[in-house]
Structure 1
Amino acid sequence: MINQVKKFLPPLLGLSLLLNTHSQMYAQSLEEQTVLAALALNIVRFTTWPDEAQTRIKESIDFCVIGDNVVQESFTSINNKVVGNKTLQIVNLSRLRNFEDCHVLYISELKQNILLQVFVDINKHPLLTIGQGYDFAAQGGMVGLENVDGKITLHVNLPVVHESNLNISARLLKLAKIIGE
């Protein structure tokens, strides 16, 4: 009996270690994504939509999220938060369509060719786009969030913001690296 236990003990310990490592990585990823969600909420708070878009924003600001389960779960932390006199509503998108129902679009990890097509589809619409990294903003997104050594850097593509008739507060722009001036 003891020999049988000894035989199965190393694989069980290995499996236990693997599952523990996976759960730690998941928790770290969820924590990082939750921080990005909170930053995205503050970006929304410092953004103003044009008058014609304001009429579409009735009681809630529809904040659409494209991403995996970790990303979508992290954004539940900001669901129903108050932004001015409106409530933020998180909408998890499983398909890349119906962007006209969104006021904010957070995009995580799309292939470059698909991301570029999304930017073409929403070009000049008053839709605030937020994603991860400098490349997101450089390729046509409005705000890219980049984690460098534990500090988040904001990259704002000002020409794209202006083409969409959105206005990002100068207070927020002072904290950002501006692209395309």
Structure 2
Amino acid sequence: MLRRTDIGLLMFMLLLSTGGPAFAAPEDEYALKAAFVLNFAKFTQWPDNSFTDTPDAFSLCVVGGKSLEAGFRTIEGKGVGGRSLQIDFIPEAGGFDRCNMLFVGGNMDRTALLRIFASVKEKPVLTIGEMPDFAKLGGVINFVSKEGKLRFEVNRETSLKQKVNISSRLLKLAIIVNGNE
């Protein structure tokens, strides 16, 4: 009999195999990416002390403008590890201390991105992006398009530094990259 996590992983693989390159609207693209982000959270473990300030909430911070908002609102309130997913749309200037996960939209310049990475360095924050070299520059997960499908890269070295443990089952689906390749 399949365990609940196995069913979740099967659903995630189905989502992975159906993600196409063309989207009717940016909201559709970000709704799909939000579904991936929710599944990333379900297959990642954070240190217990990551939730001391808000023990009943799981915080996803989103940086990148209004075009992301409608798509990410589709997952707000969903359960992650017994906690309710709370989404905060924040400016790139900061305020990342309360974030368990941080999604950075693709319209960010490299200098601002590196500032964000510096502000969460060695903190238990799962950083996710969608721009070239995001994972190689210090992010943990990066969305990429491969052979017309939505895929994701994982920088395992950064995830260990950030103290977020990504499930081996999720890593099997990822394209593994290293920093400074």
- Note the aligned Cα RMSD (angstroms): 1.9
* 1:99 aligned partner: 96
Instruction: Indicate conservation of the 8 Å contact 2:23/2:29, yes or no.
Output: no
Q: Aligned to 1:59, which of 56, 61, 66?
A: 56
Q: Distance in 2 between matches of 1:67 and 1:86?
A: 25
* 2:46 aligned partner: 49
**RCO greater where, 1 or 2, for CA within 8 Å and sep 6 or more?**
2
Residues 121-140 of structure 1: matches in 2 within 5 Å?
Answer: 121-140=119-138
Q: Aligned to 1:88, which of 85, 88, 100?
A: 85
Matched residue SS, 1:79: coil
Q: TM-score, normalised by structure 2?
A: 0.80
Distance apart, 1:73 and its partner CA:
1.6
* 1:162 aligned partner: 160
Matched residue SS, 1:106: strand
Q: Distance in 2 between matches of 1:178 and 1:27?
A: 29
Matched residue SS, 2:94: coil
Residues 70 and 149 of structure 1, relative CA distance in 2, 3 Å threshold: farther
Matched residue SS, 1:78: coil
* 1:29 aligned partner: 26
More helix by share: 1
Q: Which runs of 5+ in 1 are unaligned?
A: 1-24
Identity across matched positions, percent:
34
Instruction: Indicate conservation of the 8 Å contact 1:134/1:155, yes or no.
Output: no
Q: Distance in 2 between matches of 1:180 and 1:149?
A: 21
Residues 26 and 147 of structure 1, relative CA distance in 2, 3 Å threshold: closer
* Structure with max Cα Rg: 1
Count of aligned residue pairs for this structure pair: 157
Q: Distance in 2 between matches of 1:34 and 1:79?
A: 11
Q: Distance in 2 between matches of 1:163 and 1:157?
A: 10
Residues 26 and 38 of structure 1, relative CA distance in 2, 3 Å threshold: closer
Q: Which runs of 5+ in 2 are unaligned?
A: 1-21
